[in-house]
Amino acid sequence: MARSYVREARRKGLGRRRQRIVPIVERLAEEHADASIALRFRSDVELLVSVMLSAQTTDANVNRVTPALFEKYRRPEDYLAVPREELERDIYTTGFFRQKAKAIRGTMRMLLEEYDGEVPRRLEELVRLPGVARKTANVVAAELGHAQGIVVDTHVRRLSQRLGLSGNDDPVKIERDLQRVVPRADWARFPHLLIWHGRRVCDARRPRCEDCVLEDLCPSSRLAVLARGAVSERGR
């Protein structure tokens, strides 16, 4: 299906991806001027922990846990000063609490031993941290002002495919496709724009194409499908 949207964009004469990406970014930026990361944090370490906790749960759930967590754990040393079981209890409601506690403690230890307690900015350094995969590293780097890639979550994956910006299913390949067309200056905000558009308009099951600012640029638009069906019915 993803590949068919890329072909559909060409068939409809919507233009190449490089031609459509600028108006896509501009329209989404105007429509979702408030688009930003939903996680709440006050420091680089809190950002890193928040993103690590967000795996397999919602940002809202993480935000319910972190106020008390960040009052108790203010520095990397604090995460190592308590028994692992205590940290597990403190993050229990985020799910997968044992794996997350182990990863957070391992990450804090590495920050202290190799980075003077500071969160690194480079992607290749971030992915060395326990429990930090490319998506997490991309989020952290972008929020720290050093975007070196494009975050691909479920919303970004779905909308990139529907807009015909990528014909791939693998997040790594989707990221590469996006990097080829999205201006580097927009690498940090582009995922936020797609995420908020996916939450507010382009729903996974019932996309509201009639309310979409990208409808005329989107090869998967249901309105175009309905219009073709209406023409077909009138021709009978």
Contacts of 194 by beta carbon, 8 Å cutoff, 6+ apart: 28, 155, 156, 159, 160
State the SS3 of 54-115.
CCCCCHHHHHHHHHHHHHHCCCHHHHHCCCHHHHHHHCHHHCCHHHHHHHHHHHHHHHHHHC
Please give the distance of CA 204 from its chain centroid, rounded to a whole number: 15
Please give the positions annotated as active site. Answer: 135, 153
What separation in angstroms does the CA of 220 have from each of 7, 21, 180, 205? Answer: 11, 16, 21, 13
CA distance 174 to 161: 9
Token pair for 131:
């429990």
In contact, 181 and 21? CB cutoff 8 Å: yes
Contacts of 179 by beta carbon, 8 Å cutoff, 6+ apart: 149, 150, 187
Q: Which residues of 75-87 are buried (b: 16+ CB within 10 A; e: fewer)?
A: ebeebbeeeeeeb
